[in-house]
Structure 1
Amino acid sequence: MEQRLVGALAPLLPGLKEVSHLRPLSGGAVQETWAFDVVRDEGTLPLILRRARGTLRADRPYGINLGGEAELIRRAQHAGVPVPEVHHVLSPGDRLGDGFIMSFIEGETIPRRILRDAAYGDLRTRLAAECGSVLAAVHRIDPSGIAGLERRQPAQAIDRIYQDYLALDAPGPVFELAFRWLGDNMLPDLDPLSLLHGDFRNGNLLVSPDRLRAVLDWEGAHIGDPHEDLGYLTIPSWRFGEIDRPVGGFGSREDLFAAYEKASGRSVDPKRAHFWELAYTMNWGIQCAQMAEQFLTGADASVERGSIGRRRSETELDLLCLLDPEGRHAR
């Protein structure tokens, strides 16, 4: 792979001598991530390769492909969103599959370190507000011309979650109750809709002790209600044990919403955000159940699938708290 990387990057980086220290980083089921260094006359340049997992071609069943994701990241950079710089989108001639090469940014993504280490103490006091400002910039991105971006009004988004639930064939009374609540409290359509990140949460935010340095993993981007991203960021599972700080385990909804309103000029409807918090809490619970099924059937017997699959029960408890008429939003 090193020589193929040299071939892909040589026309872009004059003086390139070699690629070294190629190493896999953590990745999802759809994509893999590699870190490597490019050695040039003027020094070493650290880079990241993001490509389709296990295939030379990634025709996803839904959503944008990696070329579209790369274009979206470039537009995000122009909109003022902190993201890595995209250097090259792979072509068939590169013989590296479907993907792109981007800058390596030094920082931390592991939530438990961000939420507990003393080095990030000052950052935690203002990170919710930073997220609000960054999400306002995300929602200003022009998505025109990017193929594969789904357009979802609220009823369409909930129906998609419901179809995933039916396909799982693992019914549960808490999920049934939550779907009934969502149906009874369905949000009206919104116009205009906005470009959404779709997975904006602690874990996909790269930080240093002084600031949010990059928003990662844009593969879930779609067009929808801006409150989706706001509510998604607050679901209990993304708090990683810091349950009393609803925004990522580090901040308050008030700070998030106030910063978003200031940066976007839009008003935030807390009830609309709560709807999406509940919806995506359930969506994560369904995904946990899917992983449990994969583990139990042997389709994917990895420790990761088994350990995450067990967390369906946590999301059911979270849903009961979110459905509480007194509005308690914590376990």
Structure 2
Amino acid sequence: MSTATRGTQLAARVREHLARHHPGAPVGELTVLPGGHSGLTYSVTAGDARYVIKAVPPGQRPVGRNDVLRQARVLGALAGSTVPVPGVVAVDETEPAWFAMDFAPGEAVEPVLDEHEVPAATARARMLEIAAVLRRLHTTDVDTPGLGAPAPLDAAGELERWSRTLHAVPAELRPGGEELLARLADDVPQSLPPVLLHGDFRLGNVLCADERAVAVVDWEIWSVGDPRIDLGWFLLFADHRNFPRLGHPVPGLPGETELMDTYRDGRPDLPAMDWFRALGRMKMAAIMGHNLRRHREGKHHDPDQERLPPTIAAMIRTARDILG
């Protein structure tokens, strides 16, 4: 069966499901939403309502980032909670699987990386707002019915996983990487009780309207584990200087200390946060190095990746500095 035929069949299935939700209302055609990096993402209307469709790509297995049903589970588990997420309105497990969720109005802008016209005061308020959202996410019961939480990730497991990714990057693209990995491995913190993790929590994955967080999106790599894994990653996006040749300054953006204070909300300090801040930088270096390697090997042509080496080096250097 051709890809075009599978796409046509998927569209028919989606329109049939939504027609049952909106009897008598016209259901529009599926329109590809740009910017997605996992599965297929579409927009579709049904009467006055608008939905987002996440589907497994034709011919692909529903695993990893393509496991859209796993995304639907976590959104369903968070429905009605204090964590804003789009509502799931339809799930179809027939291959290729897909689900439909409410279209959440708003914009997802990463202030220090994206080209945007968001006022600095609004960007600041959004950063503080989602720091509180992250705290609420981490209080979610991981035994919530329907979540189907995986085995928890501890600090050692997270380090091992990302060490493999960094090791796959050519040595010349990760200067100082071996020393950083050794220093992280020498002092792995004891894990805190596991919580629900987003996996890529930052403003670029939160739809906001003015200063309000409307919906946390892009749940492809959610997991259960140490809350400092999410927090250390989120803090990385507080300063444009972490991203040489990529970032740009945003006046008044809250720094890491202010974001951590907002996240804690009067609770005691989290131990060993410097280790998790360094871990976040190592992970970013590994991701960027992986993407640059793929470009240079001709597996994914993207000349813009050639801007990454200064940031990769800075991530490793500043991680080592944080560790002392």
The bucket for the TM-score relative to the shorter chain is 0.7 to 0.9
What code does the residue aligned with 1:241 have?
Answer: G
Q: Name the CA distance, whole Å, in 1 between partners of 2:30 and 2:66.
A: 30
Write the mapping of 1:73-88 to structure 2, written as runs, cut at 5 A.
73-88=75-90
Write the mapping of 1:12-27 to structure 2, written as runs, cut at 5 A.
12-20=21-29, 22-27=31-36
What code does the residue aligned with 1:288 have?
Answer: M
Question: Structure 1 residue 242: deviation in Å?
Answer: 4.4
Tell me the equivalent position of 2:290: 290
Q: Name the CA distance, whole Å, in 1 between partners of 2:165 and 2:179.
A: 16
Write the mapping of 1:188-227 to structure 2, written as runs, cut at 5 A.
188-190=190-192, 192-227=193-228
Q: After the TM superposition, which of the residue ranges 124-133 and 168-177 deviates more from structure 2?
A: 168-177
Please say if residues 88 and 102 of structure 1, whose CA atoms lie closer than 8 Å, have aligned partners that are also in contact. Answer: yes
Write the mapping of 1:27-42 to structure 2, written as runs, cut at 5 A.
27-28=36-37, 30-38=38-46, 40=47
Tell me the equivalent position of 1:65: 67
Q: Name the CA distance, whole Å, in 1 between partners of 2:97 and 2:239.
A: 29
Q: Name the CA distance, whole Å, in 2 between partners of 1:26 and 1:74.
A: 23
In structure 2, do the counterparts of structure 1 residues 308 and 151 end up closer, same or farther at CA, with 3 Å as the change threshold? farther
Alignment TM-score, normalising by the size of structure 1: 0.81
Q: Name the CA distance, whole Å, in 2 between partners of 1:81 and 1:19.
A: 30
Please say if residues 231 and 273 of structure 1, whose CA atoms lie closer than 8 Å, have aligned partners that are also in contact. Answer: yes
Q: Name the CA distance, whole Å, in 1 between partners of 2:152 and 2:49.
A: 38
Identity of aligned residues (%): 22
User: Using CA pairs below 8 Å that are at least 6 residues apart, which structure has the higher relative contact order?
Assistant: 2
Question: Structure 1 residue 322: deviation in Å?
Answer: 3.4
Q: Name the CA distance, whole Å, in 2 between partners of 1:118 and 1:163.
A: 38
What code does the residue aligned with 2:56 have?
Answer: A
Per-residue deviation, residues 67-94 of structure 1 (Å, max 9, x unmatched): 12112112223221111111111231xx
How many residues are paired up? 307
Please say if residues 286 and 312 of structure 1, whose CA atoms lie closer than 8 Å, have aligned partners that are also in contact. Answer: no
Q: Name the CA distance, whole Å, in 2 between partners of 1:80 and 1:202.
A: 17
Is 1:259 matched with 2:255? no
Q: Name the CA distance, whole Å, in 2 between partners of 1:253 and 1:211.
A: 20
Question: Structure 1 residue 119: deviation in Å?
Answer: 4.9
Tell me the equivalent position of 1:103: 102
Unmatched tracts of structure 2, length 5 or more? 1-7, 241-245
Question: Structure 1 residue 196: deviation in Å?
Answer: 0.9
In structure 2, do the counterparts of structure 1 residues 286 and 117 end up closer, same or farther at CA, with 3 Å as the change threshold? closer
What code does the residue aligned with 1:260 have?
Answer: Y
Is 1:281 matched with 2:281? yes
Q: After the TM superposition, which of the residue ranges 19-28 and 201-210 deviates more from structure 2?
A: 19-28
Question: Structure 1 residue 325: deviation in Å?
Answer: 6.3
